[in-house]
Amino acid sequence: MDLLRIILSVIIPPLGVFLQEGLGKHFWLNIILTLLGYIPGLVHAIFIIARK
């Protein structure tokens, strides 16, 4: 399941975080990071998915 989340995160970073954490603070932080730049949002999403 983590592989699917990482693949979805590469396409749309907030989607992978949403599937992992729900509508919590990490999701909103990832939205902001993705709006500031794709790479920061992607790195944050992979970090959130890989840390568990």
pLDDT in tens, 15-51: 999 999 999 999 999 999 999 999 999 999 999 999 9
Q: Domain range holding 15? A: 2-50
Count of domains observed in the chain = 1
Q: Say what the pTM is.
A: 0.90
Count of C-beta atoms within a 10 Å radius of residue 24: 11
Which positions ≥6 away from 16 have C-beta within 8 Å?
5, 6, 8, 9, 45, 46, 48, 49
